[in-house]
Amino acid sequence: QGPLAGKGPLAGKTVLVTSGPTHEPIDPVRYLANRSSGRQGHAIAAAAAAAGARVTLVSGPVALADPAGVAVVRVETAREMLAAVEAALPADIAVFAAAVGDWRPAEARDGKIKKDGAAVPPLALVENPDVLATIARRSEGRPPLVVGFAAETDTVLENAHRKLAKKGCDLLVANDVSPAGGVMGGSDNTVHLVSRDGGVETWPKLDKDEVGRRLVARFAELLALRNG
C-alpha cells in the first residue's frame, strides 16, 4: 500500500502495470531481449502507489529496485507475463508499458548449443501472445481503463493511431524510440497521448518519473469520467 492509501486520487482502486523487457530463451545460457530498462513502467507503478492505489507490477528482467508500496511479480518471458497479468486481474486500470518480445525461439534447447558443428545454428522464431490485446479484447473482466504504449522509430503518430485501434485500448502513450532520442534506457521521455477519438496531446520532454506522475493523474481523471 502506498503512503496515501485511503487518501489519494486513486484510493480504493487497483492498478496493474507491466514493465521492462522480456527474455526469450534460446538455450540455458542465451536469450533474445530488447533495450527496455523498465524505468517508465516502474515510475508509473510508483506514482500509482503514491496516489493511493493498490498496485501490482508485472516486470520482466530489470536492474531497478522494486518501487515502494508495490507488489512486484517478476517474469522472464512473454508467456509468463501474460499468465502473471491474468492472475493479477481484476484491476480498475491496466497499463501495458512493457516492451514484450514479439517473437521467441521456436524451440528453447535444453542444453547449451555448441559451436563445434560446421553450420551456424538456425534460429527459427514464433510469435508471442500479445498481452495487451488479449486483455483489452476480453468480453468479461476487462479493466475499465486499458492503456497501451507504442514504441516507434518512424511515423510515430500514424502508427500510434493504427495501434490503438488494432489493440482495442482506451489510451495509447506513444514514444519515439529512435536511437538519437535516447529514450530506450534513458531517463527522459517525450510522449504523445493518443485517445480513442483520435485526439493527440504531445507533452514536453520530461523526466520519466514526472511522466509517470502526470500519466497517473490523467488515468485517475479518465477513470472518474468512466465511472460517472
Question: Which residues are catalytic, by number?
Answer: 34
Determine whether the annotation assigns residue 102 to a binding site.
yes
Q: Which of 80, 102, 130, 209 binds Ca ion (CB under 5 A)?
A: 102
> Based on CB atoms, which residue is closest to ligand CTP, 102 or 209?
102
Q: How far is the CB of 96 from ligand CTP (least distance, A)?
A: 4
Query: Minimal CA–CA distance to 104: which of 85, 82, 134, 137?
Result: 82
Spell out, one character per residue from 51 to 90, where the chain touches ligand CTP: x when CB under 6 A holds, - when not: ---------------------------x------------
Residue 205 assigned as binding residue: no
CA distances (Å), origin 193, targets 71, 188, 202? 27, 16, 6
157 is in an annotated binding site: no
C-alpha cell at 17: 502495470
132 interacts with ligand CTP by CB under 6 A: yes
Cβ-based nearer residue to ligand CTP, 130 or 210: 130
If DSSP codes are grouped into helix, strand and coil, which group holds residue 208?
A: helix
Cβ neighbors of 50 (< 8 A, separation 6 or more) are: 2, 3, 4, 8, 69, 213, 216
Inter-residue contact 81 to 100 (CB < 8 Å): yes
Could you tell me which residues are annotated as the binding site for CTP?
Answer: 102, 112, 129-132, 149, 163, 167
